[in-house]
């Protein structure tokens, strides 16, 4: 028993790659930067139908503050595929989505120069990176506070060292310790503080009266 295989044409493979891709793709004219065609994934990413996207300038796919950079990138494409980060696309509903972009060099198709650009939504990746960074910041702060606990020679030094340990990570702009005073104004006395925003505490008058009453 023999099996026969049908070898698809290059055109069929290209169409399959274009139509089944999970990332958004556009073909555009590098001379006037107008969109020639898009795949279905790009429709979904932009929240626009194919007919709306065709004819748009590639700069219009991006937020206003990124469009000059888009012009610079699309006007200086080198041979081979180039990767670009730090860009976003702006959907029809106004939502701004972070993307990673791959640009091909200019190719000739039916006598016309075109460039293929692929857009990958990296929202989830950035969210996971931020979550991991937050966990690392918290662990570093906890570790620094533990070291301070073992080395401090007084309560004041301990409290200040803990604040310093927390704000050694750039994620935390301010850490302070306040003591609730039992005076007429139920004031809060700052006994330690640190961070790039520590100046915020100067002249700041806090009261724990409302917290006390709510309890």
Whole-angstrom distance, CA of residue 78 vs CA of residue 105: 6
What pLDDT shows up at residue 166? 82
Low-confidence ranges of the chain (pLDDT < 50): 1, 3, 212-215
In this prediction, residue 67 carries a pLDDT of: 92
For residue 84, give the nearest of 96, 71, 94 by alpha carbon: 71
**Predicted local distance difference test score (pLDDT) of residue 9:** 62
CA–CA dist 20, 113 (Å, integer) = 24
- Nearest CA-CA partner of 44 in 15, 71, 19: 19
Question: Are 164 and 158 spatial neighbours (Cβ–Cβ below 8 Å)?
Answer: no
The kind and range of the H/E element at 116 are: strand 112-121
- The answer to whether the CB of 120 falls within 8 A of the CB of 149 is no
Q: How does pLDDT run across 185-211, given as a tens digit for each residue?
A: 888 888 898 988 888 888 788 888 765
- Residue 211's pLDDT is 53
Give me Rg for the CA atoms of the chain.
28
């Amino acid at each position: 028993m023999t099996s026969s295989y049908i070898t698809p044409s290059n055109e069929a493979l290209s169409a399959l790659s274009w139509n089944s891709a999970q990332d958004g793709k556009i073909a555009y004219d590098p001379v006037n930067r107008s969109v020639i065609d898009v795949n279905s994934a790009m429709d979904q990413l932009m929240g626009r139908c194919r007919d709306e996207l065709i004819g748009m300038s590639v700069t219009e796919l991006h937020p206003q503050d990124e469009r000059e950079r888009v012009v610079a990138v699309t006007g200086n494409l080198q041979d081979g595929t180039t990767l670009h980060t730090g860009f976003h696309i702006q959907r029809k509903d106004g939502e701004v989505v972070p993307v990673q972009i791959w640009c091909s060099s200019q190719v000739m198709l039916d006598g016309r120069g075109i460039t293929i650009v692929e857009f990958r939504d990296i929202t989830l990746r950035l969210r996971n990176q931020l979550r991991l960074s937050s966990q690392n910041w918290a662990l570093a702060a906890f570790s620094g506070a533990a070291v301070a606990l073992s080395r401090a020679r007084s309560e004041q030094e301990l409290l200040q060292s803990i604040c310093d340990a927390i704000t050694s990570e750039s994620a935390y702009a301010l850490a302070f310790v306040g003591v609730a005073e039992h005076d007429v104004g139920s004031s809060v006395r700052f006994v330690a503080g640190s961070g790039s925003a520590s100046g915020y505490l100067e002249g700041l008058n806090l009261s724990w009266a409302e917290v006390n009453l709510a309890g």
